A = this chain, B = another copy of it.
Amino acid sequence: MQTGIVASIQPAETASALVRKLGALCLLSEEEIAYLEGLQNNTLSVDKGRDFIEENADLRTTFIVMEGWAIRYGLLSNGRRQILSYALPGDILGLHVNFRAAATYSASALTPLTLAVVDPRRVLEISQKYPIIAAGLSWCTAREFAILGDQAVRLGRLSAQQRLAHLLLELWHRVELIGNGAGDWLEMHMTQADLADTLGLSLVHTNRSLSALRRQGLITVHKDHVRLDDIDALIEMTDFNPKHLSEFRV
Number of copies: 2
What is the total number of residues of chain A having a CB less than 8 Å from a CB of chain B? 55
CB of A199 within 8 A of CB of B156, answer: yes
Q: How far is the CA of A244 from the CA of B103 in the complex (A)?
A: 9
Instruction: Give the distance to chain B from A80, nearest Cβ to Cβ, in Å.
Output: 5
Across the interface, which residues of B come within 8 angstroms of A198, CB to CB?
156
A207 at the interface (CB under 8 A from B): no
Q: Beyond the given A84-B149, A155-B156, A156-B197, please list 6 additional residue pairs across the A-B interface where CB-CB is below 8 A.
A: A25-B99, A56-B243, A101-B249, A104-B142, A104-B241, A156-B199
Chain A residues close to B by CB (< 8 Å): 25, 56, 72, 74, 76-78, 80-82, 84, 96-102, 104-105, 124, 127-128, 131, 134-136, 138-139, 141-142, 144-146, 148-153, 155-158, 197-200, 239, 241, 243-244, 247-249
